[in-house]
Amino acid sequence: MAPGRCDDREETEEKKSREMISGQVPVAIDDIEYYGWEVDSKIKCFHGLLPVRKVAFDGENTGRRFIGCSCEDETSCDLLVWYDPEWPGPLKRALQQLWTMLSTQEHKIHAELDSLFRTLESGRGRQHGTAVRKTRHVDRKTILDGLRD
């Protein structure tokens, strides 16, 4: 065997291993059957912390369980280890279609809200228009937050 060849193989295996435990972490939801710290695993996140159990709520992986970083928001690393196998093709396509339909509906709601706010602003005088513009962002955010709940 040529010198360095084993090292190359080990390096390739290490790279494959890293790819299996990292990736684009999906949006997650709480699930009463799969939650909490992953204490039985030797895997640690890239911060060196125990990972937590999560359930994907994003695209074609909706419903798949995985473990990920316990840190929140922008401090979270990209640890991603799938617990469930990949969904079958027909299910993945159906889930993707549902998310596309949801996104389309959300865009329609945004457009309708914008139209309603423009109508409201044009119906009021200049004096009242300034107050409406200042509160428009807050009102729209409140309405959209209500739709998501």
Q: How much is the pLDDT for 137?
A: 62
How distant, in Å, are the alpha carbons of 28, 52, 87, 106, 128 from that of 139? 27, 36, 40, 17, 15
Instruction: Count the neighbouring beta carbons within 10 Å of the beta carbon of residue 145.
Output: 9
Over residues 99-140, the pLDDT tens digits come to 999 999 999 999 999 999 888 888 775 555 555 556 666 666
Over residues 16-68, the pLDDT tens digits come to 444 457 778 899 999 999 999 998 888 898 889 999 999 999 999 999 999 99
Give the strand order in the sheet containing 52-56.
Answer: 28-29, 52-56, 65-68, 80-82
Q: Cα–Cα distance between 127 and 39 in angstroms, integer?
A: 61
Is the pTM here over 0.85, yes or no?
A: no
Q: How much is the pLDDT for 19?
A: 44
Q: Cα–Cα distance between 62 and 55 in angstroms, integer?
A: 8
Q: How much is the pLDDT for 144?
A: 66
Decide: 144 and 111 in contact? Cβ < 8 Å.
no
Q: How much is the pLDDT for 121?
A: 82
- Domain positions in the chain: 16-82, 89-148
Task: Specify the DSSP element, H or E, that contains 56.
Answer: strand 52-56
Q: What is the mean pLDDT of residues 1-23?
A: 47
Task: Specify the DSSP element, H or E, that contains 82.
Answer: strand 80-82
Q: How much is the pLDDT for 110?
A: 94
Per-residue DSSP letters for 122-133?
HHS-HHHHHHHH
